Structure 1
């Protein structure tokens, strides 16, 4: 993990409820020493164009025992598995667990389980930044780009273009192209670099 001091903390686009939920979850993850980092739209404030979001996504690395301990710990904090969502998305069980907070029921929390080499590498390359009023581990800009290119929604492409256009970042293009080649994302990466006016 490295510390990034390249920029002052931006204004958070997260609502007070989401910021409070994030603080609660981070406390439990830290207590159990679970490798983790903030991903998704909430991480954009560190690297790209911040935008409003109504949920939280964190990438974590756990085995089955650690997963069960984490679920129990979160439950004791009033953050429980959303059984209705899990039942409606049975194929997601090994990939993501969605939680609901008793204090902040309007804001979904997704804990995404690192499932491939890239995601495990992303957890080794996290940056510690001041964001959303907290000091927290955030996915690196390159790894956030790869995660969003894997997701492949129009909003994800817009988010990646915003990261590329950030003049304060020096992206590791060799790293990006290495993972794009490995994951079959060459066309997607070429598109966002060209659309942002960066190198192809």
Structure 2
């Protein structure tokens, strides 16, 4: 599983994509070990950046989980329609071959991207830099989602901050 994350992050970094890692992987990188089956990303939703993101994932074998074209994916109005009509929160990319790894990208900015990017943590992991959502923004997203695992994550992140094990 670690190889999956490493490969994707290295590829996105090399392509110059502006993004931050969020979700369960961010929780793990802040020091709370738990299982997560996907990689959640918040990507700058500008056309040029989305094009780089789409192409970079395509080069390493990822395709949209739903059959849409690159143009549809990059179309802001189309993404808004998916949100409104289908309740879409994330757009998923899946590896074409086993083990069918999943990347979820938020279709809208849950928090203004410029703020997320400015306050990101640049986590040095092995031989790469991971643009990691700030712990405070991560907790805000987790509280907004309010699923049972998200609430557990917030409790754990709070505890780690109190013990000085996680940066703000």
Name the CA distance, whole Å, in 2 between partners of 1:39 and 1:128: 13
Matched, 1:122 2:110: no
Distance in 1 between the 2:118 and 2:2 partners? 24
Classify 1:132/1:56 alpha carbon distance in 2 versus 1 (closer, same or farther; 3 Å). farther
Total equivalences in the alignment? 153
**Residues in 2 aligned to 1:103 and 1:168: alpha-carbon distance in whole angstroms:** 41
Is 2:35 aligned against 1:52?
Answer: yes
Give the unaligned 5+ runs of structure 2. Answer: 74-81
Q: Which residue of 2 aligns with 1:142?
A: 136
Cα shift at 1:118: 4.0
Secondary structure of the structure 2 residue equivalent to 1:165: helix
Whether 1:81 and 2:64 are equivalent positions in the alignment is yes
User: Aligned to 1:109, which of 103, 118, 140?
Assistant: 103
Partner secondary structure for residue 161 of structure 1: helix
> Contact 1:61 / 1:113 at 8 angstroms: preserved in 2?
no
2:79 equivalent in structure 1: none
- Aligned-residue Cα RMSD (Å) equals 3.0
Corresponding residue for 1:36?
19
Q: Take 2:87 and 2:47, find their aligned partners in 1: how far apart are those partners? A: 12
Gaps of 5+ in 1: 1-17, 173-200
Check the 8 A contact 1:37/1:138 in 2, yes or no: yes
Distance 1:169 1:121, change over 3 A: farther
- Residue 137 of structure 1: SS of its match in structure 2? strand
Among 43, 47, 66, the alignment partner of 1:64 is 47
Closer, same or farther: CA 129–171 of 1 in aligned 2, 3 Å: closer
Local SS of the residue matching 1:164: helix
| Cα deviation, residue 28, structure 1 | 2.7
**What TM-score, normalized to structure 2?**
0.74
Greater Cα radius of gyration, structure 1 or 2: 1
